């Protein structure tokens, strides 16, 4: 049987494909297929053809998956844009991707309109809400399609951009083989077999659909006939209530979501029946070991982890039992084979940290950036996204940090993740970032910026308390010299910190 929403719509059109968490609005498989087909016909009628690119800029809403599936079913590439981007950042991605159509919502329309004013190549502009500023109402456009439009339906592919935490985001270009509908991409088959996502799955999607993992997981659920519960925004108590209400079986979260759930008052956290959960997956950012151990203690050995990237050239995974035997690991290779190389390209033995490379994973290119593409390959064809880590004797991979985040202080390499893992478990800390700032003698020194937990007062007393807490658990040279406090850290919705923004803020400061 082909793996595509059409299959499930034909067999059971009233089956829920997804439910919007805030409103309870249900979109059935019959509706998903019919409406994605209509959008696909409209795009085809306007001249879009295989390989053309469309962009989506909207919050999690009922229209989002319909538009993604419309592009997927007629062989298009589709870019999903973060709603946190500024107009010039949106314009950069629209121009870089060559998008010829943009879908948006009323909430995002002003940013979208400002962006397309800078990007004349976006010829077709649609909003799922009221027409304004040159954006046509999507429903009106669908009604105007002449009868008899029959697109050549083939599998498309996402064109997703790196999160841009260390610079301008780059489009990750995957192959577009234009397979017949129902031919699942490799990542869908991997998620299906690895965590048994299928017709009986109820998947809680708590993160923005514009990011790679939430989008790919949700569309995988649709390929195999399950039901997705799409949260408009994450709230820890609401997530637990949804698990109980819909008998959720699967979810994928990021460590910051774990931390927020664990910091709920115990009576509040344990008030919900979460016994339906079979698989809780986490990825996207390093998980502090104490946090993961607490999640396993709470929910049982159903916590799974994987390590990958938008490029998807390497995919490692492990379950709770494996993690308890190899604490801190992100698993063994499932797609590609992990290798650790030093600066000269020599392979390092187990236990020694270096750059993580993948042999035999999916090949990728960075759009319009041959230099970055070349830098991500070595002479024998292995690829890297620049992360640092090491392998143990059993082949389990451990992450050290991203190369861009490594702190070099007085000739010593310092991994800021170690301090972050300690800080975020302190009861008075909601979030933390550790990074290097300029120093006139040492080159860099370790600095921290902390978002206090609700009710915790920032100031010198809290700074001293946190520094003492760090020094109890880490060597002094690894600890921040100072801690600043902010109301909120610049964190991507996927859990990644925009450390570039923090480093830029301190780049002119020289510390003595």
Domains annotated on the chain, with CATH: 29-180 (3.40.50.980), 408-506 (3.30.300.30)
Q: What average pLDDT does range 88-116 have in this prediction?
A: 96
| Whole-number Å distance between alpha carbons of 109 and 127 | 7
Contact indicator for 121, 197 with CB cutoff of 8 Å: no
Q: What average pLDDT does range 92-107 have in this prediction?
A: 97
- Count of CB atoms within 10 A of residue 78's CB? 25
φ/ψ (deg, to 5) at 135 = -100, 125
Helices 186-195, 212-223: axis angle to 10 degrees equals 80
Q: How confident is the model at residue 487 (pLDDT cuts 50, 70, 90)?
A: very high
| Whole-number Å distance between alpha carbons of 37 and 194 | 30
Burial 141-169 (b: 16+ CB within 10 A, else e): beeebeeeeebebbbbbbbbbbbbbbeeb
Which of 427, 453, 441 has its CA nearest to residue 481? 441
Residue 275 has a pLDDT of 98
Q: Are strands 160-161 and 171-173 parallel, antiparallel or unpaired?
A: antiparallel
Which percentage of the chain shows pLDDT scores above 90? 76
Strand, coil or helix: what is 423? helix
What integer best gives the mean pLDDT of the chain?
92
Residue 294 has a pLDDT of 96
pTM for the model stands at: 0.84
What's the token pair of residue 478? 């690894």
pLDDT at 93 over 90: yes
What pLDDT digit, counting tens, does each position of 328-374 carry?
999 999 999 999 999 899 999 999 999 999 999 888 899 999 999 99
What's the token pair of residue 304? 């799974």
Q: What average pLDDT does range 190-213 have in this prediction?
A: 94
Contact indicator for 222, 65 with CB cutoff of 8 Å: yes
| DSSP conformational letter for 140 | H
Q: Where are the beta strands (DSSP E) in 254-410?
A: 279-282, 303-307, 315-318, 329-335, 337-341, 354-359, 365-366, 387-391, 397-402, 407-409
Q: Which long-range contacts (CB under 8 A, 24 or more apart) does 429-434 make?
A: 429/453, 429/456, 429/466, 430/263, 430/454, 431/256, 431/488, 431/489, 431/491, 432/489, 433/489, 433/497, 433/499, 433/502, 434/480
Contact indicator for 186, 334 with CB cutoff of 8 Å: no
State how far the alpha carbon of 252 is from the alpha carbons of 191, 436, 496, in Å.
Answer: 11, 31, 15
Q: Exposed, middle or buried, 429 (CB in 10 Å: 0-12/13-18/19+)? A: buried
5 versus 511: the higher-pLDDT residue is 5
pLDDT at 512 over 80: no
> How would you list the strands of the sheet with 429-439, edge to edge?
429-439, 443-452, 482-485
Residue 508 has a pLDDT of 57
Q: How confident is the model at residue 86 (pLDDT cuts 50, 70, 90)?
A: confident
What pLDDT digit, counting tens, does each position of 128-159 carry?
999 999 999 999 999 999 999 999 999 999 99
Contact indicator for 204, 179 with CB cutoff of 8 Å: no
φ/ψ (deg, to 5) at 295 = -65, -40
Contact indicator for 103, 55 with CB cutoff of 8 Å: yes
Residue 256 has a pLDDT of 82
- Count of CB atoms within 10 A of residue 1's CB? 8
Residue 84 has a pLDDT of 83
Q: What average pLDDT does range 86-97 have in this prediction?
A: 94
| Whole-number Å distance between alpha carbons of 498 and 490 | 6
| Whole-number Å distance between alpha carbons of 262 and 136 | 44
Q: Which long-range contacts (CB under 8 A, 24 or more apart) does 489-493 make?
A: 489/431, 489/432, 489/433, 489/449, 489/451, 491/256, 491/431, 492/82, 492/84, 492/163, 492/165, 492/211, 493/82, 493/84, 493/207, 493/208, 493/211
26-40, 185-199, 324-338, 394-408: which has the minimum mean pLDDT?
A: 394-408
Which of 77, 38, 26 has its CA nearest to residue 56? 77
- Count of CB atoms within 10 A of residue 402's CB? 19
Q: How confident is the model at residue 511 (pLDDT cuts 50, 70, 90)?
A: very low
Residue 499 has a pLDDT of 79
pLDDT at 478 over 70: yes
Q: What average pLDDT does range 27-52 have in this prediction?
A: 98
pLDDT at 165 over 80: no
Q: What average pLDDT does range 213-234 have in this prediction?
A: 96
pLDDT at 305 over 80: yes
Which of 302, 296, 301 has its CA nearest to residue 281? 302
């Amino acid at each position: 049987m082909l793996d595509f929403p059409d299959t499930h719509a034909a067999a059971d059109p009233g089956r829920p494909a997804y439910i919007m968490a805030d409103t309870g609005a249900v979109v059935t498989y019959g509706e998903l297929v019919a409406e994605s087909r209509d959008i696909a016909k409209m795009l085809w009628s306007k001249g879009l053809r295989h390989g053309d690119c469309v962009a989506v800029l909207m919050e999690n809403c009922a229209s989002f998956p319909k538009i993604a599936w419309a592009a997927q079913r007629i062989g298009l590439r589709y870019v999903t844009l973060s709603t946190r981007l500024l107009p010039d950042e949106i314009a950069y991605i629209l121009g870089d991707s060559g998008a010829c159509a943009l879908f948006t919502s009323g909430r995002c329309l002003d940013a979208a309109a400002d962006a397309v004013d800078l990007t004349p190549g976006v010829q077709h502009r649609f909003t799922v809400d009221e027409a304004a500023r040159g954006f046509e109402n999507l429903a009106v456009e669908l009604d105007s399609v002449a009868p008899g439009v029959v697109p050549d339906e083939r599998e498309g592919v996402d064109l997703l951009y790196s999160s841009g935490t260390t610079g301008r985001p780059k489009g990750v270009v995957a192959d577009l083989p234009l397979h017949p509908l129902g031919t699942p991409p490799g990542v869908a088959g991997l998620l299906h077999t690895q965590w048994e996502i299928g017709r009986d799955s109820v998947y809680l999607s708590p993160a923005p659909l514009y990011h790679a993992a939430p989008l790919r997981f949700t569309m995988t659920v649709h390929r195999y006939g399950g039901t997705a519960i799409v949260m408009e925004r994450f709230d820890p108590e609401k997530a637990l209530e949804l698990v109980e209400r819909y008998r959720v079986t699967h979810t994928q979260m990021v460590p910051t979501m774990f931390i927020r759930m664990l910091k709920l008052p115990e009576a509040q956290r344990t008030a919900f029946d979460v016994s339906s959960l079979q698989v809780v997956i986490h990825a996207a950012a390093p998980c502090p070991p104490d946090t993961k151990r607490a999640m396993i203690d709470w929910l049982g050995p159903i916590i799974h982890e994987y390590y990958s990237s938008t490029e998807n050239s390497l995919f490692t995974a492990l379950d709770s039992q494996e993690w308890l035997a190899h604490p801190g690991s992100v698993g063994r290779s499932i797609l590609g084979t992990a290798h650790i190389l030093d600066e000269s390209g020599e392979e390092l033995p187990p236990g020694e940290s270096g750059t993580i490379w993948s042999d035999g994973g999916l090949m990728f290119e960075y759009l319009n950036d041959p230099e970055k593409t070349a830098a991500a390959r070595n002479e024998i064809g292995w690829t890297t996204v620049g992360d640092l880590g090491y392998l143990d004797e059993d082949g389990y991979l451990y992450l050290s940090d991203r190369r861009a985040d490594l702190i070099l202080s007085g000739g010593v390499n310092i991994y800021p993740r170690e301090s972050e893992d300690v800080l975020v478990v302190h009861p008075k800390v909601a979030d933390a970032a550790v990074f290097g700032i300029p120093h006139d003698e040492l080159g860099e020194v370790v600095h921290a910026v902390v978002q206090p937990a609700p009710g915790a007062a920032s100031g010198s007393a809290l700074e001293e308390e946190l520094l003492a807490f760090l020094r109890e658990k880490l060597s002094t040279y690894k600890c921040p010299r100072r801690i600043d406090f902010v109301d909120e850290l610049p964190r991507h919705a996927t859990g990644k910190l925009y450390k570039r923004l923090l480093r830029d803020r301190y780049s002119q400061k020289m510390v003595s």
